[in-house]
Structure formats: C-alpha cells, structure tokens
Structure 1
Amino acid sequence: MWGQSVRRGPGRIWVGTAAVALATATFVAYDVGGAPDPPRAAAFAEPVRNATVVIEEGGARTGFSTPTVTMSGGGAVTVVNLDSMDHTVTSVAKGADGLPLFDVRVAAGTTATVPGVDSLAAGEFAFYCKFHPGMRGVLTVTGAGGGVEPERPTFDQPLVVPPTERGADIRLVMKRARVRTLPEGRRTSMWTFDGTYPGPTIRRRGGQGTRVTVVNHLPKGAGSTSTHLHGDHHAAKDDGQPTTQLVRRGDSRTYDYPLTVDGRATPGSFFWYHDHRMDRTARNNWRGLQGMFIVTDPPMPGVRLPSGSRDVPLMISERSFTSGNQLTDPFADGPEMVHGAGHDEMSWSGDLAPPNDATVGDTVLVNGRAAPYLDVSATRYRLRLLNSSPFSSYNLTLSDGRPILQIGTGSGLLPRAVVRSSILLGPAQRADVIVDFSGATGKRIVLESVPAAIGSTGDDARQTAVMELRVGARASDPSRLPSRLPSPGLVSPVPTEVAKTWTFGLDDGGDHGSAWTINGDPFDPTRVDHRARLGAVERWRFRNTSDVTHYVHIHAEQWRTLLRDGKAPPPWERGLEDTWRLEPGEVVEVAARFTDYTGPFMIHCHMLDHEDHGMMSRFDVVP
C-alpha cells in the first residue's frame, strides 16, 4: 500500500484514480480464441513463462477477465482488450524513480505488451485500470525474477500551511511563481494566487462581509479567468460565472461575499476558491489557481474544539512532473471541439474525448507539497480535509487504525459527531474531523488512502500514502470530543414532489464526437434548463446513467440530502452539503430553499474534465 510517490515522466496521465487491493478471483488462462484452457494436473504443470491479461466487453463493470496472472521471472505480459473502451494495466507499486513499476494503455480492440515486467523481482504485484479503477488484478512473478521491487515512500519535507488573510478587503494577484512542491531539485513554476500554492487561506466570521479583489497578472496566453467561491451563498454576479464577467489579463474584479444566508450569518464552514473558466477549468486548476476559505465558528457554549495551531486545513490534490520538476501539460493534446457536422450541439473528438478525458497526477500533494510530514503533540487536532483533485477520489484513513471523528462537512457542522474508520472524499468534497493523538508519543502515523472492497462504495479510491503525522510529547489540551453539535438547520418541510430531475450521462456521437451531458444535452450557457422561484423550497433528483461515478456540485444554496437510492442518507450526509457522490445507476434526492439572490447559477460534475466537456447546466432563480 505504499505504491504512490513522485512521478517525473512527461505526458498525459490517463483517466482514473489509482485502485488498489489484491484481487481474489481465480485465474483463467485464455488461448487466442478467448476460451479457457482445460485444467492440468499439478504434477504435469509446465512453467508459465509469459502471461496474458484479458479484458472482455463490459470490463469497466465486470473487471479483468483474468484478475490473477502468473509469469516466471524475465517473462512478458500481453494485454488483450476485447472491450469497446480503452483500459490500462498499471502497477500500484512504484519504483525508486517514483514511476509505476509497469504501466500501459491499451486502446479498444487492440493488444499491447506491458513494459518493465521482465525486470520485476519475484513476488506479487497488484495492478489496476486507471480508466476504471474498480478493475484490479495481481501479477505473480515466480522463480528468480529480476531485481526491481516496490519502494516505500519517504516523507522528506514539512507541511506548510498557507498564509492567512483575515481582513474585510482582500486583494489576490494571480501570477506565475516558482513554488516548492518536490523535496529536491528546482522549484515548480505554477499559476498562483499571491505567489503561493495553495493561495492564501482566508478566515472570516460568518456575517462579516468580505470583498475579494482578484487581479489577473498571469502570463500571456493564459486568457481570462473566473474565480468561484465553492460552497458560499452569494449573488450570481459574484459566483464566478464560467463564460461571462471574466477577468481579462491585466484587469481585476471584486467579488462580494456577505457571508449571510437569508439574513443570518453563514455558519462555520470550509469553503474553497478556484478558477471556473469554461473549457479551461481543469487546466487552470492544474496549474495552481486554488485556495481555501474558512468561515470560522461562532461562539458555541459547551463545545470546545481544537483551535489555533491545532486547527489545520489540508488541501489534498495531485500533479505530475517532468524530470526538471515542472508540471506536465496533459492538455496540450486534448480533445478537439466539434460543431455542426449534423450534430446540433458542441461535442469533442480525439483520443481524449469523453469518456477518456480525465486528468490524474502521479504525485499526491498536501498544501502543495509532495509527501509532507506534520509534527503534532499527543493531543487532539482538528483537520479540515479538502480534495481539490481534478478527478481522483481518496478514502482517507490512519495507518495505525486510529478512529477519525467527523464533526462536519464543508458546509457546516453535523448534528452529531460520527466515529469513522475511513472517510471517502471525491473532487471538491470536504470533511471536518478530529483526530486524537493521545498515547501515540513517538509514533509516525500515515494519513493514507485505501480502496474499499470491490463493488462497494469507494472501490475506485486511489491507493496512496498522503502525509505523515509525527507525534511528540503530551501537552495541555483544553478541547473535548463532542457528541451533539450546533448544526445549522435543515430546510423543512420538504415537498414530496420532485421539481427537477438531473440525469448525468454520456452522448457518444460516434464520428461526430462525444460529450458528457445533463438531461441529454451538453452545456450551453445561453440555455436555461430550469427556473426556480425565489423563496420556494424545491426537491431535486440526480440520476447517473453513465458507467462512471460523478461528483455533482450545485451553486447558489446549501442543500439537505433526503434520500440515497430510496434510503435515508448515512449519518455523515445528514448536515448541509453542496457536492454529492453519484455512482452508476444511483439516485440521490436533495432539497433547498432559494433565498436572497436571483440570476443564473450552475449545476455540474466536479470532475473537471467532465465539466469542461459538457457536464454542466444552467438554472436561474427568478422573482
């Protein structure tokens, strides 16, 4: 489970999050025709020099047809892809150079030889498909083998918490700067807010109006930008519209955040700000235009949460780097936009068109640094967890099995604290948690991401070490573990009738390109797909008809989760939310009251390539 570290190879990092546990299915050998060979008696078994990994039609749902394969040392592995979709065979483990021990992308209807397996040492090597991480397998190398073995990650640089801004008027300058991401070598050139990645962390009390002026001093060719404060409730003109009210190079724009909801102060929350420019959202976030925004808790008599240096925001993301420590450009050979040609709406064509369009990095970053460590005392800490990755999900847990107490989402505290062993966060999701390090003096505990069992929620989570927590001596600790919490109220009563159903799917137009869609249509900024009346309470339904998970984000309001597949949501989804995991075939229902502001707002998938390639819709709040 220590397979992820720094990749320094150039080029596109193909779709998917890194999946991870050893498969348990039985190996079936295939001949050229795909039929299984008859079993042989063990006494007459011949050494298996080479191995074949087979992917049948529908592999994204059913997995590898040969989830366990065996070869002798120095042998070869061939992948036969009989599916209509591209797949990869990628080693979970990394080598001393930070690269996967083996990695190959296999186009639909083709075969490929896996490079690097001939030098593997004897042992078992888990592999997965980066397009569809629920596909997992194990390669067993027998005999002498080579000398290449997995390397454990090291944690060589301290965690850095971004500088904090607390004023009512804040100025953020977007500019190119060199920042320390990797522990050795050159600093990395990134697009930043105020010269840091992440940008400054803004901390403000609810009800304290905040004006943030964003200045665009990015390099020539960066184009216009749009900054969205994710999770906040504000006017449409301050929402970071994807195609209008943009900040051109050399210009600035002031965003007004009253930090109120329906006349009341915004409750303690964990928001974040990021670029939201249509067609460029994935690129601009990849290059660094992200930062955190904390609405601090109001006085809460009887509730004593960790504070000060023990209240730590953690932005978890990922990037890939060249040998010179610079960001790779996975967008240079991106899909081409297609108009017309018998297709009424925009779509995309090329190797990276939907559904093969996701940006995944090999190196996990926390607050912009690869594999950092944090010195902590043997006391309680409040960790604010944010997944700002463009595509990957993380199922976060602690290496010593220590429990995690979730006290909130990104949108506020939960009604009751929930004891959890792991927390699954997809792109844009947040969790407010407490970890008690009492009794762990001298230990080094790893915050890591592990997958769930195959076929269950979270089986597509990336497997990786995230950061190390180095526990020191005991210290005075006035905090307490809470049970009940002053959670913000949920909208009630809720209509029984669904006002709007949003169906997330894929339009495969064949020769005319493809697009991610909502209700069958890719995004059109001039088209209004729903109108909600100001003051009304509406019940919305999400449906996923595609073969991949999506993360649905709604602008404008804070929402209550009503049902997940017809059942009450789990305890950690019973507070306010703005982003939901939506697995293939899943149905989720939510509700909110539309208050304060009219105008256009967005609903979209927060897998950023999906958003850029059509999976966004506009709804208007009207008088």
Structure 2
Amino acid sequence: MAGLTTAAVAVGGTIALRGSESQAQELTGAATLPGVDTPTHTELTPFKDPLRIPPTLRLNSRSITEINLVNSRQRLHSQLPPTRLWTYGGHFPGPTIEVRSGQKARVAWNNKLAGTLPVKAVWIRPEGPGPGLLPYNRPGSEGGFPRAEVDGLTPWTTVHVHGGHQNGLSDGASEYGVTPGDAQLAEFANDQAAAHLFYHDHAMAITSLNVAAGLVGHYLVRDAEESRLRLPQGEYEIPLMIQEVNFDTDDKGRIDGRILSKRIVHGPEPTPGVMPPALASLCPFTMVNGVVWPHLDVEARAYRFRVVNMSGVRVYRLVVVDEETGKPVRGAMKLIGTDLGLLGKPQTIDEALSLAPAERADLVIDFAAFPGKRLKLVNTIPGQTPGAALPEFTIPYPEVMQFRVEKKRNPKPYAVPATLSPRFRNIKPGDVPKDATERFVLLAFDKSGAMPQIWEMQEVSAQTAPGDGIVQIEIDGTTRALRRTATVFEDTTTFFASSDTWEKWHFVSVAPPGVPIYHPMHIHLMNFQVVERRSLDSTGLDHAAGKTTKPLTPGAALPIAPEESGWKDTVNVQANTIVTVAGRLAKQSGKVMYHCHILDHEDEGMMRPFVIMPAAVHEIHGMVMEMNGKMGAGHGAHAHS
C-alpha cells in the first residue's frame, strides 16, 4: 500500500515536512493493537486497550503535500480480528493535520484505494423478538435484508475540511468525487482563528458509508493568540474523535470485526433497486480515535482534549464519573472553545456536555485532584444515572473511555486563563447587522410523512394565497409568507450570497407529534453563533398537503448551552423548534453546501447547494436574474432583515 505523503517522513508521533521526495512509510503493525486474529468473543471488554493517538502532519505553504487514500487493516479492539478499512495514509483516524493561521496549504488527496467498500450494509426492522437489545443495537446482521447496491461500491471519494475556509473548488463538493488513480487537488486558506476542524469524505449519496469505512481525520489551526495562553500542549493536548460503530458476527455469534451498517427500515419489506423509507443507522459501540472503549494513562496534571463527535447519527451527552464512587465528577470539564475557536472566558461544565454529530468541544480536565483514581467518560441521557445502563432504544453501553490517573501527586493545580480570546464577542439578536441577508430553511417531511426533507424557502408577499409549498410563520410578531423553492440537492440553486458579508439563517424544524427527530445543520464557509432558540407550535403545517393551515408560531425561549455559546459551523435543531444563527461568510467563493450532518439524512437528500460570489459579481448576477424573471432567494427585497 502507498505511503502517507510524498513530502513527509515519519518522526516518532509527528510527520515533519522535508522537501518534495517521497520518504513516507506505510502503516505497519506497530501502529495497531495486538490481539486475536479470528473471531473469539461475543462481548467486548471496556477499557482493555490504550487510546490510539494519530500522528501529526504539519503542512506548510512551500510545497504540495500528497496524502494517499489507502486500504489498511487495523484492530479496533484487542478482542476483535483486524478490520478492513479505507484510510488517509494508512491511519484511522487519519493523521492530525496542523496548520498556522494565515498560511495557505495545498494538498493532493490521491485516491489509491482498491476493491469494494469494506462496510457490510443491511436493512433491519426496528422491533426485535423477546427481551434484550433491539436489533439495531446488537452486533451481527441477523434478520437483516442485504443491500446489494452497497456490496458493489468501489472507491469514489472527495475530501471536505469541515469548518475550513476554502474556495468551492477545494471544498470537497459532493458531486466532484474522484476514482482510484486520480487525485483531488485542494488549497486551504487557513485564514481563521485557532480552531479544531476535521476532514472527512463527502461523496454524493455515500458519505455515511465512506466515513464508516475510515475516511476521517483531525485538522488543527494554530495562531499566536492561542500560543500566548500557554494551554496544555504537546503530549498533554490530545484530539479525541468519538464515533459509534457496529460489527458483524460469524455463524456462532462471535464478533468478527467487519464494520456493519444497519439501516432501520419501516414500511414494507425492502425491494431490490428501491430505496425504502428508513431511519438512520444507530450502533451499540463507541470508538475514540478508532479504538472501542479505550483507556488513557494520564499524569496528575491538566490536559487539553480536542473533542469531535464524528458519529453518523448519535448525540453524545458526556459525563465524567469516578469509578470508585459511581458518582459524576461535577465541574471536571472546563470548556475553553467550541467548533471554531476559543471562547472569551472559560466555562465550567456542571455535569454533562452534549455534542451532536460534527460539533466540537475544546476541554481542559485537570487530573491533579485525582491521583490514583480511575475516571471514566460516559454517555447518558437526561434523568438517567450517569454510568448506568441506558434504555435499549438508545445505546446499550454507556462507556466512552477511561482515564487512569497516576498516583504521584501534583501540588500545583492548573488555572485555566481567566481571559481566553479578548476578541470574542457574544452575539445577541440585536447585534446582527440590519443588512444581513436573512434566510429560512424548513426541516420538514415529505408528503408521506416518512422521510425528512430540507425545504428551502423564499419570502413572498404576506398576501400570497395558501397552497402547496406556501408556509406562514410568525417572526417578531409579524406573520410572513414563505414559498418552497427546493427540497433536494438536484433542484435549481436559489441561495446566492456575497462573500465576506453577514447572514442570518432561521432553521425551522417541523415534525409530527411524538417524533423526536433532530438535525445538526452545517453551513459551509460560514462562522456563526446561535443567537436564539425557541420552541415552535408547528401544528399548522400539513405535511401531506405541503402547506400551513395556520401560521407556525414560536413560543418560549430555550436555553443555549455553554458548548453552543461560541463560534460554530454546526447547530443541532431539535424537533419543533426554531433556531436562528448569524455570522459572516468567509472571503472565499464558489458553489458550496449546507446540510444535515446526520450522514444518512445528508445522503438521502437533506443537502442543498448555495453559491457565494464577490459582492460586485453578486450584484450583477441579481440584475441578470431579475432580467430573466428568475429572482433568487439570495437577491431581492425579501432577502434582508
């Protein structure tokens, strides 16, 4: 298999750039766990294996770094046989890319993958016979309907740096995938504050499967402001990529290590060649940096953890628990940053920190007060005892990872700087510029009520007659009318924007009663803050008719959690709420995307393109659209607040 980069050489845990000649070496067994080579276990033991920390790849602006996408085999738990993966440079996750703010970097992502997708995919019924775990929360594909269309997938990939500033040509557009033997060339501006980004596959219709196969990695932007804070660094700064995962089993029920995707189907039995209405793919196990339930040996001192939820579906509500007492360690996590950088001041997480898919948290945990202790990070739900078994319809195993603190005491507890980013300002609704372009996106369902959809909306006259695609909504006491202009990626592009300008987006989630759906919405090339979240009376929306019979009405204000209080690129929108975000588009331009980051939702249509242009071009484009009677939602009198 090919090496990591033609401009890099491995040096311990770091990959240092050296000229332009190929000196990289492919991953060998030294980077994977020891263990069994054939299926032997029906259960996996938590905290048996050490955390895997990916090597670091530092990019510069002097050369093109070539990163090869290659097949690999890695053991994801020592009680599992090695798992076949698609990887960046032979690592899972891929190498942690580091860049300096303001320094452009160029990467050639070389598709050197071979064979068919290493993920087994089946349809599964949501109900199960008798007591025990529900079928989607068990390993094994028993009772599943094979997905023949997945079995024949060969490598088609495109790489997106999530949260990064890059022109549309370098953004990993879903329809611009490359096949084996070809490369995707990309330039990353990195003209942003220090932040924890990540990179992953973004190929049209198969992102969830390619990501499940291993195509993910961390991406860190560094700047002088961050350096001056003297936060824990080097071996005391650790990126943590949290992912849910499932595995197939052999005919004796032993877990065989092959990654398994079990889509929950409802309705009639799936028909070959037809995509049935389905729920997303929930999984029973949790990996951190590609290891199921790992442990980390830590000194009795402060560590900085860069956490990202890279799961396809699952929201994690993370709690630190003392294994000896079984009680939560309140205040153990100090939040210093969100998706796109540092907060103004640190915030103490009283108990739980919630992360939806694609959301990040920059955390400091000081282990100085816990010498000799074993602490564990667990997933929980409100009202449930942290660390206890969770209801079978959510996740059967609460374990995420374990921290084993050395016995030696550190007499100097770490003090997180009282001021982190003096530049940070929290945006309130009244702070949004009056000329910010205002957009409405409904997160609704199709007319059958079975499949979630994005409804891209354009404001029209309040006197517009009711009809299919017409939605009335109350905003700040005024009833406004919206017309649906698109529902799937392939519909006509209607959102056009000026680069480096302010935007205000309303995500309006409308769901039938009792449907606890959520959508983590990601906007490419936009740094935003959550300025308002409210409950929503959505009983006026008739999904079958595709229209409102009475206005959608916002209700009480809902809290914005500390982990949502900074600069972000992804926001979780719960059922029957309206979430307003505001921020500034990047200086870069081109055709990019916004979408739900539940990857199955994205693959099945909850993604839309929008086009960012220089302001002068945007103005001319608006004139051309008006001349042709095709006013886009990013132009015209109703595009502004």
TM-score by length of 1: 0.67
From 183, 197, 211, the counterpart of 1:285: 211
Q: Distance in 2 between matches of 1:423 and 1:305?
A: 21
Show the counterpart of 2:174: 242
* Structure 2 residue matching 1:325: 3-state secondary structure: strand
Q: Distance in 2 between matches of 1:542 and 1:514?
A: 18
> Structure 1 residues 156, 600: closer, same or farther in 2, change over 3 A?
same
* 1:467 paired to 2:401: yes
* 1:364 paired to 2:286: yes
From 233, 241, 260, the counterpart of 2:165: 233
Q: Distance in 1 between matches of 2:354 and 2:422?
A: 21
* Structure 2 residue matching 1:572: 3-state secondary structure: helix
Show the counterpart of 1:377: 299
Show the counterpart of 2:315: 393
> Structure 1 residues 205, 230: closer, same or farther in 2, change over 3 A?
same
Deviates more, 1:485-494 or 1:316-325: 485-494
Gaps of 5+ in 1: 1-95, 100-152, 261-265, 337-347
* 1:445 paired to 2:384: no
Q: Which has the higher contact order (CA 8 A, sep 6+)?
A: 1
Q: Distance in 2 between matches of 1:532 and 1:568?
A: 30
* Structure 1 residue matching 2:526: 3-state secondary structure: coil
* Structure 1 residue matching 2:522: 3-state secondary structure: strand
* Structure 1 residue matching 2:600: 3-state secondary structure: helix
* Structure 2 residue matching 1:158: 3-state secondary structure: coil
Partner deviation per Cα, 1:539-592 (whole Å, 9 max, x = no partner): 111111133111111101211221111467344323210011110111111112
Deviates more, 1:538-547 or 1:292-301: 292-301
> Structure 1 residues 367, 477: closer, same or farther in 2, change over 3 A?
farther
Q: Distance in 2 between matches of 1:487 and 1:280?
A: 42
> Structure 1 residues 384, 497: closer, same or farther in 2, change over 3 A?
closer
* 1:183 paired to 2:78: yes
> Structure 1 residues 385, 237: closer, same or farther in 2, change over 3 A?
same
The Cα of 1:325 is off from its aligned counterpart by 2.9
From 557, 568, 583, the counterpart of 1:577: 568
Show the counterpart of 2:119: none
Show the counterpart of 1:106: none
* 1:505 paired to 2:444: yes
The Cα of 1:352 is off from its aligned counterpart by 7.0
Q: Distance in 2 between matches of 1:461 and 1:587?
A: 25
Percent identity, please: 30
From 509, 513, 517, the counterpart of 2:454: 517
Q: Distance in 2 between matches of 1:487 and 1:271?
A: 21
* 1:481 paired to 2:401: no
Partner deviation per Cα, 1:404-444 (whole Å, 9 max, x = no partner): 11000120001121111211001111100111111211111
* Structure 2 residue matching 1:330: 3-state secondary structure: strand
Show the counterpart of 1:530: 495
**Counterpart residue identity of residue 307, structure 2:** L
Contact 2:368-2:412 at 8 Å conserved across structures:
no
> Structure 1 residues 312, 477: closer, same or farther in 2, change over 3 A?
farther
**Counterpart residue identity of residue 532, structure 1:** A
Show the counterpart of 2:43: 98
Show the counterpart of 1:275: 201
Deviates more, 1:293-302 or 1:325-334: 325-334
> Structure 1 residues 98, 331: closer, same or farther in 2, change over 3 A?
closer
Runs ≥4 residues deviating over 4 A: 299-302, 331-336, 348-352, 458-463, 475-479, 487-493
From 610, 613, 618, the counterpart of 2:601: 610
Q: Distance in 2 between matches of 1:469 and 1:333?
A: 34
**Counterpart residue identity of residue 530, structure 1:** F
**Counterpart residue identity of residue 239, structure 1:** D
**Counterpart residue identity of residue 363, structure 1:** F
Contact 1:281-1:612 at 8 Å conserved across structures:
yes
Show the counterpart of 1:539: 504
Deviates more, 1:192-201 or 1:481-490: 481-490
Show the counterpart of 1:551: 520
Q: Distance in 2 between matches of 1:572 and 1:191?
A: 32
> Structure 1 residues 378, 539: closer, same or farther in 2, change over 3 A?
same
Partner deviation per Cα, 1:60-111 (whole Å, 9 max, x = no partner): xxxxxxxxxxxxxxxxxxxxxxxxxxxxxxxxxxxx8339xxxxxxxxxxxx
Show the counterpart of 2:110: 215
The Cα of 1:526 is off from its aligned counterpart by 5.5
Show the counterpart of 1:495: 434
From 348, 352, 355, the counterpart of 1:422: 352
User: How many equivalent residue pairs?
Assistant: 452
> Structure 1 residues 359, 351: closer, same or farther in 2, change over 3 A?
farther
**Counterpart residue identity of residue 231, structure 1:** G
* Structure 2 residue matching 1:553: 3-state secondary structure: strand
Partner deviation per Cα, 1:391-411 (whole Å, 9 max, x = no partner): 011101101333211000120
Contact 1:335-1:352 at 8 Å conserved across structures:
no
Show the counterpart of 2:246: 320
Q: Distance in 2 between matches of 1:514 and 1:350?
A: 18
Show the counterpart of 2:531: 562
Contact 2:58-2:97 at 8 Å conserved across structures:
yes
Q: Distance in 1 between matches of 2:436 and 2:98?
A: 39
Contact 1:306-1:479 at 8 Å conserved across structures:
no
The Cα of 1:524 is off from its aligned counterpart by 2.5
> Structure 1 residues 408, 329: closer, same or farther in 2, change over 3 A?
same
* Structure 2 residue matching 1:317: 3-state secondary structure: strand
Q: Distance in 2 between matches of 1:204 and 1:211?
A: 11
**Counterpart residue identity of residue 554, structure 1:** I
Partner deviation per Cα, 1:239-266 (whole Å, 9 max, x = no partner): 100113x222210122111211xxxxx2
Q: Distance in 2 between matches of 1:395 and 1:570?
A: 12
The Cα of 1:167 is off from its aligned counterpart by 2.8
The Cα of 1:278 is off from its aligned counterpart by 1.1
* Structure 1 residue matching 2:376: 3-state secondary structure: strand
TM-score by length of 2: 0.66
Partner deviation per Cα, 1:163-198 (whole Å, 9 max, x = no partner): 110132432211111012011242111111111110
**Counterpart residue identity of residue 97, structure 1:** T
Partner deviation per Cα, 1:574-616 (whole Å, 9 max, x = no partner): 3210011110111111112234222211111000000011111
**Counterpart residue identity of residue 398, structure 2:** T
**Counterpart residue identity of residue 167, structure 1:** L
Q: Distance in 1 between matches of 2:452 and 2:291?
A: 34
Gaps of 5+ in 2: 1-40, 116-152, 250-254, 323-327, 385-389, 457-483, 535-556, 618-641
Contact 2:345-2:418 at 8 Å conserved across structures:
yes
